[in-house]
Structure 1
């Protein structure tokens, strides 16, 4: 497998008052080009820390994170990052928000307009391109954030619980829209979630994390075809995989105490 993202024996520790907290301990994981991988696990297992290191927002204490064979040393336009919080500029329209990263990169106005328009169309916000964020629903704001990430043409999408704050119906709608966009664009996606059903529905593989210290507990292959229809979501095969992931998340043996 040609790895698009590679975590190589990654350890991440944080100093505390009288000791040190190990958020991740010896994590190794390879994600192939165009693969959609979800990461799920109990609170405190280091899911967001893992994504933050792939984004270049944090550095490993030891080990390496590689993208396209190059060590990650900071943020870059090859990686689009989408958080649970929309982080939109309230005084800018949808189009201006989507163009923001392109403007910072010095992309000429005509090209900015073209690329932003294409990204806005991908997420179905054409009719709201000139609207301010205050007029948008939560789901529409998140679609705007996704469009902004797509506009800079990243090869990797890093998504940290992007639908976590949304109501159940909007969440399902955005899952379907994200998969439809991924099917056309085929970016490599690392998607953090606390929702087991979401993890299984979206992914080709589900990485189950264990906590304290954060480590990979199990990797579950999701041998279900795309597109992931409602029929697949309600199938016996889906339930079987979902139950495997659920058991792996919520019935883990506690970590052995350090020697």
Structure 2
């Protein structure tokens, strides 16, 4: 019998309390969640359930007040090159071109110029920005800026992509186009992705597994495997199976009853 490989990302009783007047509030009440390498996990849930806080803890940008998160068995103590982060706001350097932004992490890591240029161009082509590689961010649309941010994250060669509502500020057409583009890149690169969204349709379309969270305090409510065909195309949204999964996730988000959820592991 083949042994199950250990998870790449492990949240173990991960909790976060924010102090403040009247005692503050607890954003996460002890999350147990294990994510396998190569998985595309999407977090959904009501506002205040701690989705972004959990992602921030994985990124090393937020310090938990209880429990821990481990990457490949090692505790997280701050940001690291093994994790790339993409936020809703593009956070591009306005004085650098698309190419300069994509190369920035590689330059910081002292990657030789020829290799830096090769890797940057590969991901610029992959996100469809070849014609604007020498343009400044101020000349780009919102969707193009987010493509640049995704290319920059991938070019640094992280094992994990952490994405916090990266398409939340975009119009519906641009959003659907970038969802399809992101899936194409994931199919080719197979990096582990942890993705936060409020959008149930987006979650079902992108994920290999949707993790539904409950609030007050934030915890895992339910995990739902998404057994849609791969490679996934936009036409899958028109299938009965997509509709059934969307309904299942929607009900898990909107029809929760308070309870303490068990550990949610990819293999259980």
TM range (shorter): over 0.9
How many Å apart are 1:134 and its aligned residue? 1.1
TM alignment of 1:235-254, pairs within 5 A: 235-254=239-258
Secondary structure at the residue paired with 1:18? helix
The residue matched to 2:8 in structure 1 has which SS?
strand
2: distance between equivalents of 1:110 and 1:219? Answer: 44
Partner of 2:265: none
Q: Deviations over 1:95-128 (max 9, x none)?
A: 0011111111222222211111111111111111
Q: Could you tell me how far 1:23 is from its partner in structure 2? A: 0.4
Q: Distance in 2 between matches of 1:231 and 1:104?
A: 41
Partner of 1:209: 213
Residues 212 and 255, structure 1, Cα contact 8 Å, conserved in 2:
no
- Partners of 1:56 and 1:111 lie apart in 2 by 28
1:43-72: CA deviation from partner (whole Å, max 9, x where unpaired):
000000000000000111111101111111
1:69 aligns with 2:69: no
Number of positions where the alignment pairs a residue of Structure 1 with one of Structure 2: 256
CA shift for structure 1 position 254: 4.6
Query: Is 1:160 the equivalent of 2:164?
Result: yes
Measure, in 1, the Cα distance between the counterparts of 2:188 and 2:233. 16
Pairing 1:88–2:92 present: yes
Q: Secondary structure at the match of 1:143?
A: helix
1:219 shift after superposition: 0.6
**Is 1:222 aligned to residue 240 of structure 2?**
no
The partner residue of 1:22 within 16, 23, 26 is: 26
Separation of aligned partners in 2, 1:133 and 1:44: 32
Residue 116 (structure 1) aligns with: 120
Q: Which runs of 5+ in 2 are unaligned?
A: 261-268
Q: Matched residues in 1 for 2:103 and 2:143: separation?
A: 19
| 1:42 alignment partner in structure 2 | 46
Using the TM superposition, give the Cα deviation of residue 20 of structure 1 relative to its aligned residue in structure 2, in angstroms: 3.2
* 1:234 equivalenced with 2:238 (yes/no): yes
| Whole-angstrom CA distance in 2 between matches of 1:65 and 1:198 | 26
Matched, 1:9 2:23: no
RMSD after superposition: 1.2
- TM-score under structure 2 length normalisation: 0.93
